[in-house]
Amino acid sequence: MLLRRSFLTVGRRVAAKPITPLAPRTFTTSLKRRAAGDGDPKPGEPDGKMIPFEEIKTEHDLLPPGAEPGTVPTDLDQSTGLERLEILGKMQGVDVFDMKPLDASRKGTLSDPIIVKSAGDEQFAGCTGYPVDSHVTLWLNMSRERPVERCPECGGVYRMEYIGPPDDPHAHGHGDHHGYEEPKTFADYVRPEYRGTPQAHYGQ
Amino acid sequence: MVRSNFQAHPFHLVSPSPWPIFTCISLLALTTSGVLTMHSFSLAQDFLYMALLLVILSMSFWFRDVISEATYLGNHTLAVQRGLNMGVALFIVSEALFFLAIFWTFFHSALSPAVEMGAQWPPKGIDSVNPFELPLLNTVILLSSGFTVTYAHHSLIQGNRSGALYGIVLTVLLALIFTGLQGLEYTVSSFTLSDSTYGSCFYFGTGFHGLHVMIGTAFIGVGLWRVLAYHFTENHHLGLESSILYWHFVDVVWLILFISIYYWGS
């Protein structure tokens, strides 16, 4: 009788209070989560995520997430490299390549020159005047040291804007003189205040 | 986005490759050994087969590089795709002009048959093939293959992988059946290449057409492998589109062959 009563009491007490585990999460749950594929990718495997356009910095950021087996991949699933950059740019409304011709919508002036973006140290621009094709194409040279150039025929002003890779601080200074003296152009007669700052250092 | 870390222009400046010069040398070997074979030089035929193998190998390695650059490196931006499309179209135009020459030579002989042939076309003594037997079947086979390849293409665009695979496999099967039947036609034919200008024109036309069918079959076969290997996307599948364009061209040439040489020329 005593034993039966104590059993009943113990049973009631056990039923009333839920069993609390020793730790909030045990080791078995870790095994389950790893098996579910929730964790990190294996070394060398892509992680199946897409980097937002603004955060693309290296070629690795342009690797695609990949599609499910048994389906036909879409361009977003599978395109890589420069092709992917173009597609992602188009989705954001950004023209990644900018293949537009020289801006001939107005005549550039010293206070409002036509900006020519350049990824290199020097840039050609072929001026045909304003309105376009007013005169024969005259080729103008602009460089990072001397970004402003004027057309000898119509006087249109062009200014180079460097958008290329930043300078390597460890590289030797590049030879300004190629062994000969370059002939004077109209750019040499532009007043210093209009000459534009040399773009030798490009800040990101 | 660090734009300056990536190429400024959309075009693909190809890295140095040995395949163009290898292909050139192989083609030189092919043409030289071909000429020597035709003039019955000893061992020339062995060189011909070796040169043919070399050409096929050089081209295969070249195309393999193109596939790597496109699918695995992402060098084929829209500008590059446009250029490739133009290249394929121009190549097919050049092939069309080649077949134009073949049809020109046929019509030159057939429109005013020489007295030596009996002033009739087909020449006297030539038993021409009945166009409504095997050639008509072959026409139906090629037209059906055009239908299946279009079905495969549209399935791919709609994201239907199994439809695309079925379509391409059927196309290749029909192409192989066509080639087999043409081979059969050749073996049971009552005239040979040397049987007057009729034989020359017939085998010149159908022979080069058959060669183009084999090339087209291989082209679509590569497309089949690439669909299986998930190379293509719904939107970007220039290799397959080029092979389909080439196949339609081959089909059209057969139709003209059928109408001019088989039907009108019988």
Q: Looking at the complex, report in whole angstroms how far the Cα of residue B89 sits from the nearest Cα belonging to chain A.
A: 22
Would an 8 Å CB–CB cutoff place A131 in contact with chain B?
A: no
| B69 and B88 inside one domain | no
Q: How far is it, in rounded angstroms, from Cα B149 to Cα B257?
A: 21
Would an 8 Å CB–CB cutoff place A116 in contact with chain B?
A: no
| B158 and B86 inside one domain | yes
Summarised one tens digit per residue, pLDDT across range A17-48 is: 566 666 667 666 666 666 665 566 777 676 67
Is this prediction's pTM over 0.90? no
Structure tokens at A6: 């104590």
Of B24, B23, B31, which Cα lies nearest the Cα of B47? B31
Chain A and chain B share a number of CB contacts under 8 A equal to 87
Task: Please enumerate residues of B whose Cβ is less than 8 A from a Cβ of A.
Answer: 1-10, 72-79, 156, 159-161, 164, 230, 232-236
Q: What's the pLDDT score for residue A202?
A: 46
B73 contacts in A (CB within 8 Å)? 80-81
| B100 and B227 inside one domain | yes
Looking at residue B10, the DSSP 8-state letter turns out to be S
Q: How far is it, in rounded angstroms, from Cα B159 to Cα A72?
A: 5
Residue B1 domain-assigned? no
Q: What's the pLDDT score for residue A184?
A: 83
H or E stretch including A135?
A: none
Number of domains in chain B: 2
Q: How far is it, in rounded angstroms, from Cα B265 to Cα B130?
A: 10
Looking at residue A51, the DSSP 8-state letter turns out to be P
Structure tokens at B61: 């390695």
Residue B116 domain-assigned? yes
| B61 and B90 inside one domain | no
Q: Higher pLDDT residue, B49 or A51? A: B49
Residue B11 domain-assigned? no
Among B75, B90, B105, which residue terminates a domain?
B75
Q: Which of A72, A75, A98 to mutate to test the interface with B (most CBs of B within 10 A)?
A: A72
Contacts of residue B85, defined as CB under 8 A and 6 or more positions apart, other chains included, come to B238, B241, B242
Query: What's the CATH number where B25 sits?
Result: 1.10.287
Among B7, B40, B75, which residue terminates a domain?
B75
Residue B231 domain-assigned? yes
Phi, psi of B34 (to 5 degrees): -60, -45
The count of other CB atoms within 10 Å of the CB of residue A83 is 26
Q: How far is it, in rounded angstroms, from Cα A98 to Cα B52?
A: 45
B140 Rama sector, left if φ>0, alpha if ψ -120 to 50, beta otherwise:
alpha
Structure tokens at A67: 């599609």
Residue in chain B nearest A202 by alpha carbon: B4
Q: What's the pLDDT score for residue A203?
A: 43
Residue B217 domain-assigned? yes
In which domain, by residue range, is B65 found? 18-75
Of B180, B155, B178, which Cα lies nearest the Cα of B251? B178
**Coil, helix or strand at residue A124:** strand
| B121 and B218 inside one domain | yes
The DSSP result for A145-183, as a single string, is: SS-EEE-TTT--EEEEEE-SPPP-TTSPPPPS--SSPPP
Could you tell me the pLDDT band of residue A8, with boundaries at 50, 70 and 90?
low
Phi, psi of B123 (to 5 degrees): -60, 160
B79 contacts in A (CB within 8 Å)? 97, 99
Q: Looking at the complex, report in whole angstroms how far the Cα of residue B5 sits from the nearest Cα belonging to chain A.
A: 7
| B68 and B84 inside one domain | no
* B58-92 CB burial, b ≥16 within 10 A, e <16: beeebeeebbebbbebbbbbeebbeebeeebeeeb
Would an 8 Å CB–CB cutoff place A112 in contact with chain B?
A: no
In the predicted model, is pLDDT for residue B257 greater than 90? yes
Task: Please give the biggest Cα pair distance in chain B.
Answer: 79
Summarised one tens digit per residue, pLDDT across range A84-125 is: 999 999 999 989 998 899 999 999 999 999 999 999 999 999
- From A57, A78, A99, residue closest to B2, measured CB to CB: A57
- Any idea which of A174-178, B33-37, B128-132, B233-237 has the lowest mean pLDDT? A174-178
Looking at residue B124, the DSSP 8-state letter turns out to be T
> Half-sphere exposure (CA, 13 Å, Cβ side) for B201?
28
Q: What's the pLDDT score for residue A187?
A: 82
Cβ burial, residue B173 (10 Å; 0-12/13-18/19+): middle
| B67 and B84 inside one domain | no
Locate tokens 């800040």: which residue? A203
Contacts of residue B202, defined as CB under 8 A and 6 or more positions apart, other chains included, come to B191, B261
Query: What's the CATH number where B217 sits?
Result: 1.20.120.80
| B62 and B115 inside one domain | no
| B195 and B66 inside one domain | no
| B65 and B106 inside one domain | no
| B196 and B71 inside one domain | no
Q: What's the pLDDT score for residue A15?
A: 54
| B24 and B107 inside one domain | no
End-to-end Cα, chain B, rounded Å: 69
A154 assigned to a ligand binding site: yes
Of B44, B23, B24, B22, which Cα lies nearest the Cα of B34? B44
Residue B12 domain-assigned? no
Q: What's the pLDDT score for residue A43?
A: 73
Cβ pair B234:A72 closer than 8 A: yes
**Average pLDDT taken over every residue of chain A:** 81
Residue B250 domain-assigned? yes
Among B45, B75, B105, which residue terminates a domain?
B75
Would an 8 Å CB–CB cutoff place A167 in contact with chain B?
A: no
- From A73, A83, A97, residue closest to B9, measured CB to CB: A97
Residue B10 domain-assigned? no
